[in-house]
A and B are shown apart, each in its own frame.
Chain A
Amino acid sequence: MTERSPAGVVDPGSFEGVEPSWSRLVTAPDADGVERTWHVLDNAGDLASAGAAPVATIVCVHGNPTWSYLWRSVLAAASAQAAGGGRAWRVVAVDQLDMGWSERTGTRRRLAQRVRDLDAVVRAAGVEGPVVTLGHDWGGVVSLGWAVDHRDELLASAVLNTAVHQPEGTPVPAPLRLALARGVHGLGTERTTAFLDTTLALAHPRLTPGVRAAYRAPYRTAARRGGIAAFVADIPVDADHPSAGELDRIAQGLRTLDVPALALWGPRDPIFSDRYLDDLRERLPHLDVHRFEGAGHLLAEDVDVAGAVLTWLGDVADRREDRDASPAADARPAREPATARLWAHLDALRDDEGTALVEMAPPRGAGPRTVSWRLLARRVDEIARGLHAFGVRPGDRVSLLVPPGADLTGVLYACLRLGAVVVVADAGLGLRGLTRAVRGARPDVVVGAVPGLAAARALGWPGRRIATHPLPRATTAALGVETTLVDLASLGAAMRGAPLPEPAQDDVAAVLFTSGSTGPAKGVVYTHAQLGAVRDALAARYGIAPGGSLVAGFAPFALLGPALGARTVTPDMDVTAPRTLTARALADAVAAADARVVFLSPAAVANVVATADALGAEDRAALAGVGTFLSAGAPVSLALLDAVGRLMPGAEAHTPYGMTEGLLMTDVTAQEIRAAQAGAAAPGGVCVGRPVPGVRVRVSALDGDGRAVGELTADAGVTGEVVVDAPHVKDRYDALWLTERASRRTAGPVDGAAARTDGARWHRTGDVGHLDAAGRLWIEGRLAHVVTTPDGVVTPVGPEQAAEQVAQVHRAAVVGVGPAGVQQLVVVVETVGDRHSARRRRARPRLAGPGLAEQVRERLRERVPASVAAVLVVPVLPTDVRHNSKVDRARVAAWAEGVLSGGRMVAP
């Protein structure tokens, strides 16, 4: 006997977040022609009430062991959008047979039946017009099965954590193996609620009791859980499984699916791990992907899946309408012009005995090590061929956990030459951040020295392992290392002359990770042409010609030397700790290669200045020969630039402005900063100079809520978000479709009717600032830190500088408290007095006294449109230690919000 749907007893529409009107039963013959009853949630009634005609129907298919409840937010969001006059999407979320509130058939249904069942219920629900499939877990497979079978009706397909293929030779995920194990299967899935409970426990954060109860409601008795067991048993664990053929058919069908496709992914999923996402990407090269770092298997509970899906579908519909309007229009943004290959100088100088690299203190061995162009070119060629022989193919990702030096330079250029994608994450991210970054980038291969490989092993990073140098056998085995660069070079040497594939200019060359100052580090994708453009911008701005020479006290520049054709000297220092560079070591490095250009980071600059007393006459003479000096990687004070300028009297001191997404956007010299500051007025900020050649800098004015909505402008005096375009701006973020979309701009006003693209790839920097009459850019802070007062928006840097003019104030942070649009301006300061170590220990956060408060208000009165509500004093402003010790304004704001609403006066 089959149990009929109990919908008459329990009302599926009564659960938290479900509109009762969505819930209904439909009846139709199933895959085998047997009449069945399905439960569906359907917002058609909402659309009718709103008088909206749907663009298409989103057919949502849940997995195991959930039910259509999973999609309630999609129904709610779609109905709200339609009611608000936006594009209308009908959403039909089905309960699969034997699941949710649909009929218990008493059968054990196979995948092929479920795909046909889905079609039956779609027809029975009266779905007409284009369809978008949306599926999760095994519902993803079922929905994609329907998609490949009904291409003519399909508008788009989207999935959340799912898998269409079990890679050969890899085991089924451990939790599923356990669920399938004899004796465990029936017990875990049917006789008890273990499988159900385990799945529901995967939400981050935990489900509320009401939501949990809703998920459990249809599966209260063993009789009602038969579908859960059948679903688990239907997972094709090997090729002989009855559903293996159907799964394979669907997986193959995806290769020719040409509708827009989206994968939303929660990486904290013990079953559907990133490797299944890789598989989908490989089958659907045009797949849009957004990985929600920190989210897991129950993605629809963890993040705003509804918002993401509707945003994406909005773009799909826009593109279709554009295409219908003007079929000739090409929506793709213009590609960068080709640049000289990054290894062009290596090719040209392959027989040159001149010096390419000088390591003043190589990691193994004493004294300077010199590498000629001939040796470097040969080494790169050998490693490239060795990697190819090892199985690395163009497009494969290679994570480089190698400290800066000749080894890193060699393997980096080898990867570029081969077309493998280098993945570079800064050790400054910390192990946790690095783990997220490496997992997210899904490297096929990890190349590292022992510390990197040990971390990879301990933290379960993906990828085959290559050591830089031979290791003891036990270590090799323990770390899972397959080979070494030395062995690969030997292997490659034997294959010299054999043809090697060459990457195209638009192929991806590198994934660089951001510092992670705003949330988890993001992977930034660069193509070969874009990296070439980085090199060209650097060469043009700093006059680095082939045959020149540079000292790289800042690791990234050491890597670019060979691409510039310049002799590159790495000084005697720990490159991962720039403050270890002394003035003597710098002078030695300059002298060793007669270098004209010096690149340092601010920490290195500070120590060079601090150790300048040790310089002898010869050292000073060597430094006097430097023509260009650059401090990069973090803001540097004018005082420090001046101090180092005195050590290099012949050098122009520069500091650039850029970000991982656009490494060199503007540049300014110490002299220019001084001249600019003399004439500076409100709103103030930090002058970062003029755009370097090829870069366009624009500003998008802010509205009262601090959103950058204005048309892009180069007009002087407009404060807004800084938006940049250059051939060397990033290609995109890696697997962050929503982030990428949010980072892009068109020239017209946001929400305006302007053309969608002007051929540029405008990148929103997230910084706010303005251009002055001389075309110089001034940075006024981060967009997220703009204070939105009822009297206008206030950017933080200018008023902070003004507050720091008060004699008692050492450092200031300007933040807002209260809701957006009515925020009150608050200045939080460290005082000079509190910095006295004796008092510091006793100092407490407090309200500023009347004298100090009045002075701060006075300084800000002329500069900002709003008055200062409060001035607070803290012993020490919280800083983000990892990111250049900048004041953590978000934390200061949260603290001030608490204190100023009557909360306890504790340290921020």
Chain B
Amino acid sequence: MRVLVTGASGFLGRAVAARLVAQGHRVSTLQRTSSTVRGAADILGTVTDGPVVARAVAGHDAVVHLAAKVSLAGDPADFERVNVGGTRLLLDAAAAAGVGRFVQVSSPSVAHHGASIVGEDAAPADPARARGDYARTKAAAELLALGRDAADLHVVAVRPHLVWGPGDTQLVRRVVERARAGRLPLLGHGAALIDSTYVDNAAGAVAAALGAADRVHGRAYVVTNGEPRPVAELLAGICRAAGVRPPAWRVPPALARAAGGAVELAWRVRPGTDEPPMTRFLAEQLSTAHWFDQRRTRRDLGWSPEVSVDEGLARLAGGPAGS
């Protein structure tokens, strides 16, 4: 298959592109900087640029769309433009170019209202109730993509949850840097069960969804390792793998949520160059359970995770994030 992967300079995008190359697909990648994926043809550009998108999509059988503005804070208009606008441009281009498959890489946060998720399957995306600009715009984008599912354009949404692994600039680097600076608190007792996804497993699931798109199109799948762990244990595991001391100080979840809300406001009024240390969304993510029923995902996609949490942590210790 000729596959266009967007956002391939990102942590997961790179892994997806590399896997598709390894599977023998002809892979092009669209992102602002080089993907560094060996064997893939780089197209440099942004998903918000219509003509660039149209040219990039042309000639492909499938699009795997990962490019997104992923951040804990920022201008809401930017989220809208990149996450919703970019998706729309890609879908339009895909339809125009006769692309048959479209994998929308989404996030479980599109259906997360702030309460605990305990063993549930993917709920419908819900922009109105999603928490924060990222989740809200990703929810709108997923609805948009699944709404375009048709007999000649098979759209499937995949929602990997908390992707991590060596080279991760999102979760792992944030955790490690904050822990190193002594700025990583535990919220409450840290026992809330949180599912996560080792990067290779997430890439495998995206590739599996691409392969299964003709069977499972029109649906959304949450993807995780299926190994929920107490949040404190997961964070401590990442810290240990990176050789930093795990967090030892605790903040009550309610306080963290309040602080997160205040910080969000402050960043909005006077955006800094760094990220806010805490947002309401992050506070909720770290103090409530969220783990999922993976049976439908595994059955429908014909996929199961290859790397366990423990194995992943061992690889992390030997990888670049640890150094």
Chain A residues with CB under 8 Å of chain B are 790, 817-819, 821-824, 846-847, 850, 853, 867, 869-870, 872, 897, 899-902, 905
Contacts and interface: CB of A to CB of B under 8 A. Distances in A.
Interface of B: 116, 118-120, 188-193, 226-230, 232-233, 236-237, 240, 253, 287-289, 291, 293-295, 308
B33 to A, nearest CB: 38
A813 to B, nearest CB: 16
A790 B289 contact: no
23 contacts: A790-B293, A817-B193, A819-B119, A819-B120, A819-B293, A822-B293, A823-B119, A824-B119, A824-B193, A847-B189, A847-B190, A847-B232, A850-B233, A869-B227, A869-B229, A870-B191, A897-B118, A900-B192, A900-B230, A901-B289, A902-B192, A902-B253, A905-B189
Nearest to B292: A822
Chain B CB within 10 A, most for which of A818, A867, A902, A905: A902
Contacts of B291: 818, 824
B193 A900 contact: yes
A846 B236 CA distance: 15
Contacts of B253: 902
Contacts of A905: 188-189, 191
Contacts of A850: 233, 236-237, 240
A152 B116 CA distance: 58
A824 B294 contact: no
Contacts of A823: 119
Contacts of A821: 293, 295
Given A869-B227, A869-B229, A902 B295 contact: no
Contact of A818 (B118, B227, B295): B118
Nearest to A704: B295
B308 A900 contact: no
A703 to B, nearest CB: 14
Given A846-B189, A847-B190, A870 B295 contact: no
B189 A899 contact: yes
Nearest to B287: A902
A867 B236 CA distance: 18
A870 B119 contact: no
Contacts of B294: 790, 822
Given A822-B295, A867-B227, A869-B228, A902 B116 contact: yes
Q: Which 10 A-B pairs have the closest CB atoms?
A: A818-B119, A901-B289, A902-B192, A905-B189, A901-B116, A902-B288, A822-B119, A822-B293, A819-B119, A900-B193
Contacts of B240: 850
A901 B236 CA distance: 19
A824 B228 contact: yes
A134 B230 CA distance: 53
Given A902-B116, A905-B188, 13 more contacts: A790-B293, A790-B294, A824-B228, A824-B291, A847-B230, A847-B233, A869-B227, A900-B191, A900-B193, A901-B192, A901-B289, A902-B191, A902-B253
Chain A CB within 10 A, most for which of B236, B289, B294: B289
A20 to B, nearest CB: 29
B240 to A, nearest CB: 8
A189 to B, nearest CB: 48
A818 B192 CA distance: 12
Contacts of A853: 233
A847 B293 CA distance: 24
A901 B118 contact: yes
A306 to B, nearest CB: 28
A822 B195 CA distance: 13
Contacts of A902: 116, 188, 191-192, 253, 287-289
A846 B308 CA distance: 25
Contacts of A846: 189
A895 to B, nearest CB: 11
B118 A819 contact: yes
Contacts of A897: 118
Contacts of B232: 847
Nearest to A861: B310
A2 B307 CA distance: 79
Contacts of B287: 902
Given A902-B289, A905-B191, A790 B295 contact: yes
A853 B236 CA distance: 13
